[in-house]
Structure 1
């Protein structure tokens, strides 16, 4: 078994090293076509046909212009979700007193979440969301954190 794992690890490392030496991004067909048309109109093709030009100027060794490679600036990440006007239970329901603390909180929060859905009182929160959904906020409040 350990021999297999060593072989698998060696294959993974060699594969990753092989990927790290890949050539730079080649020009897209559209970029290459624009470059060909510019060279054609400037008269600098020196008798090259499209396929010859494409292999020589647009292959993996040729890279796109710098302006095309600069990524667009990213917009600011949305801030953490606020509970807004969501309605939360004040204590774990007595109906779930026989369950563990975590299960009791979860079931109590779920009951309140379902009740809020009918009256649209979840404050725009989904049950589970990135950055903290209804369950996360409800559980924090019931724990007293």
Structure 2
């Protein structure tokens, strides 16, 4: 055997790691990227709600009922300094800031969504275990699911 035969290189490229392959396939799917962007945006709003919401969402101010978006008001602090507050989305019939309520509402929506997903996985796991362990239960569960559909 000659030295030349041992030193030849293979023309086949090394396979990509699974993570890189998944990322490459994900970037080509616009629906997945749009959904991921929306989820990241909602989580960011929920986490940053105290920084984004400048006015207390539960504060009721009857003097500022049904104001248009962009309405401004000035409040005085205990030290005598004046602070200008802008109602970006306006106010509702009780004078509450709609923007702050929307931002803080993102937190509630995320908590509800995660809770429902966890409960659904738990229920599905229990039903799947029952269907897999008890043979006749699989048929009954399938007929119930067919009826629900």
Fold shared by both chains (TM-score > 0.5): no
Normalised TM-score (structure 2) = 0.19
Higher alpha-carbon Rg? 1
User: Greater share of strand residues, 1 or 2?
Assistant: 2
